[in-house]
Structure 1
């Protein structure tokens, strides 16, 4: 198996452990080694005015205090993170926890505090009766100051993390950026309709959710085999081992080759943001549906989600979304990935919102206004799709037998259906 595949399939907990927090902590813990050499050569020379003038007993006390304070602050940091997780899962949505765990501020704070603790322990072990590494001890004091400053910043940061409006805005910005990158990346791959017949299949080697596919490698392999490949299920769908994973235009006779093609698709144990656009839309939908539930009843939060979705979809509605297909360098179709189209994005966003707003005229008006805004900038093809959603919204409300005055309020916000 290639090294890239091994890294991609590395358990997430191990991968996270070996990344930012651990690397920062280990880097800080290794600092006493070069500093000890500087101490041995320059502590009594030009660096003398800039180091602590301290005796061995006081140095032990200082380093012990720094180590104790650092590990206490580290415990406080993780306690606050767990509190944020609890509040976020209850008030915003549990699927945001994955994003919180990868928050750079949390990781940097844990790395600095853990590194300060390890640095102090290593420095204590370097103290001898005949030699006191004063520069190394002075740096421990600087790390203590840095830890306090970082802890203050961390507390301020986590206090804003659970502000729902800020989270909606952050998800919206990410969604808009992902759609923009998708449109720029896919524009050059847009080709004619797929006319291939996919009569053969390659089964999934494990059970889980369909994740990302190594597109460049899949195109290269398909060209070598003289076939076209189609992903049988869109990213995010659940598959059982043995179900159809890839569809091909010609049977792949070599079983090892077929297994390697199947391994190009990452099968994940849980849902993730490997398909960033759909995942972000689903996050906003989850927040809005949670806000509209009887236990929360926060229509304004749901309306904020609708506004964010409208902003994110504005560009593909205006310009259209390129076909998600991949060609080789000779412009022969080699890879088709279903599910990511403007209709799929609109359906993912507006069908749940329409159903959730059937008893809430205020929310239905917000959905109608969003459709009207999109219709004002939509291309001809997109306009037909928007009108379809507008018709479905009115049918849903009419079935609930709302007063005619309420229905007329929603109609005034809808785009023209003629």
Structure 2
């Protein structure tokens, strides 16, 4: 059994990117993965223009009264020109007149006898936006593998790029295993527990095409039939991962020709997690306890989906300092939940929790994963956190 970081590294060698693409429009582009590099179609801005309302003039005429030749509005495509000691009143986004290199903001205007007198001197080139100063035509816009967000969509729209090629959505099937489970919409007595895992995992992986397969009972034939005929890129089950209760699942995977990529990991509380592979199909077995299932999926499930999508986006890491002295068990990776207070990380409840709990997840924004050779942290130690 390997530690967490070794196991994650192995996944990079075992999982082949999907390489199946589709064309979509920008309305549907959020959280999709670009299938190829995109380049600027035009200069941004596409012409020299005014960054604010004011007067466009030549800086060489700074100390002279300036004749105001007229007003240039945004959207006016005519070409204007100033001569010696001349200027134009200009609106934000309007095309700069020839020979003008600076804009005096409207609030600083001083008019005498119908001419502009510059009393509050701006810097030369003030408020002039140059053609192509932000982006030049054919410049790399976004890299293949970028997960698109709202800001990316604004950039693409500014270039008139409306149809884009993206990786098709990863098809994920999710089911829970356990005779004791009831769905949140069912009646649940004292002898049963609600299925807290499935909906949480579906929400976590909402960028995928998700199918919920329900609760599968702890029975070999039932489990094997559930695995048969599934055409998912990734099948995720929670429960049936621990020693003793894993017999059904492991036997079913063996009979169906799945090969284990890993069986367990030296990490708390992700230790029972397993990953199987058959052809292009992957099956991730998560622990049944809610916290263990959630954190294991956060680490393994999201990593697998990034690899299948060939995504460049990695989890958000940030540097911080440990806020307390903390002893942990050596020889495994420990998952430590907590929050930041200023720049200091404060573990939730001094890292005392059970893998079946949910409140520590709700009340924690960050996750620290220790190296297996660490047995204690001192207050002030530099650490790296993952944003949950």
The answer to whether TM tops 0.5 is: no
Q: TM-score, normalising length from structure 2?
A: 0.22
Could you state the TM-score of these two structures normalised by the residue count of structure 1? Answer: 0.21
More helix by share: 1
The structure whose residues are more often strand, as a share, is 2
Q: Which structure's relative contact order is higher, taking Cα pairs within 8 Å and 6+ residues apart?
A: 2
